[in-house]
Amino acid sequence: MDRLEAMTILLAAVDTGSLSAASRELRFPLTTVSRRVSELEEHLKIRLLLRGNRKLALTDAGRSYVASCRRIMEEIAEAERVAAGEFLTPRGELTISVSQIMGRVHVMPVVEEFLRAYPDISMRVMLNDRRVDLVEEDVDLALRVGELPDSSMIAVRVGLFRRVLCASPAYLKSRNVPKKPSDLSSHDCVAYDRAIIPGTGGTNWEFGSKETLEIVTISSRLVVNSVEAAASAAIAGSGVARMPWYLADGFVKSGLLLTLLEAYEPPVLPLSLIYPGQPKVPLKLRAFLEFSIPRLRERFGS
């Protein structure tokens, strides 16, 4: 009996909830999966699993044995990483998650420079506007906006996130320039229906600090699902849009957009690189952090 294979099958059965699910996940025949678990129980001379109609259940001895199996498999995985040099020289694949605009404008140039400096590292960059679960989706690190409630994550601040209101000069020429947040009720506004970035989505816009918080329900004739589309609509004269400063900055400097109600802007938010806490940080991740943090701070004005 291959004991490591049997342990792997047992863990897969426990994690997926059934022998048939483990068979599909591992791509082993169901008869092989069932036989390996039975051989392991016979070798140990104990019952590990209670096979119900719907889901497997562990015996008391099974729970203790499975916990030991997990430790053993983790130690083997770490030994293999060390043998492959992951903790000796920066190498391997690194995965980062970042929102589309921040990724395209600010992170990709840093990634491209990093890859030139570290030829033994490859990178997978996930550009999406959803909040990725780093552990579940096997992601090494992410760039996040806002405070981080999950204490199991390590956060390194690389900048501050400012949210601004903008409109085109042509639109403002045809309408009264808003002087206070409540004036927006008489304006056309461009709404953004994805709220991964705090304070940029929905039709209830916040202004001021926590102490002087004011919420204005905007009137929207146009709803988009990306802040880039909101910026394009504002430039075209569709109305007032709220967007991140790093997106608006170039358009404001070129005169395509004007900022509004700056005195009422909500507080800036922290912008951080986050990664799961772990006893020993792989050298590939440490190398990227040391390389990218000063460059991102320069880009985001931290």
Is the entire prediction scored with pTM above 0.95?
no
Query: Does residue 221 or residue 198 have the better pLDDT?
Result: 221
> Which residues are CB-contacts of 167 (< 8 A; sequence separation ≥ 6)?
234, 239, 240, 241, 257, 258, 260
pLDDT of residue 192: 80
SS3 19: helix
pLDDT of residue 103: 87
pLDDT of residue 158: 92
pLDDT of residue 50: 86
Q: Give the rounded percent of residues in the chain with a pLDDT score beyond 70.
A: 91
**pLDDT, average across residues 232-251:** 91
In tens, the pLDDT along 15-56 reads 888 888 888 888 889 899 889 899 989 998 999 888 766 678
Least confident of 41-45, 105-109, 132-136, 168-172: 132-136
Domain boundaries of the chain, sorted by first residue: 3-83, 92-161+269-300, 163-264
> What's the pLDDT band for 208 if we cut at 50, 70, 90?
confident
pLDDT of residue 244: 87
- Would you say residue 196 has pLDDT above 50? no
CATH topology of domain 3-83: Arc Repressor Mutant, subunit A (1.10.10)
* CATH number listed for the domain at residues 92-161+269-300: 3.40.190.10
**277, 153 contact by CB (below 8 A):** yes
* CATH number listed for the domain at residues 163-264: 3.40.190.10
pLDDT of residue 269: 85
**pLDDT, average across residues 216-221:** 84
Alpha-helical runs (H) found in the chain:
3-16, 19-26, 30-44, 60-83, 100-102, 108-117, 169-174, 227-235, 245-253, 283-300
Nearest-CA neighbor of 156 among 268, 286, 266, 279?
Answer: 286
- Would you say residue 117 has pLDDT above 50? yes
Same fold for the domain at 92-161+269-300 and the one at 163-264?
yes
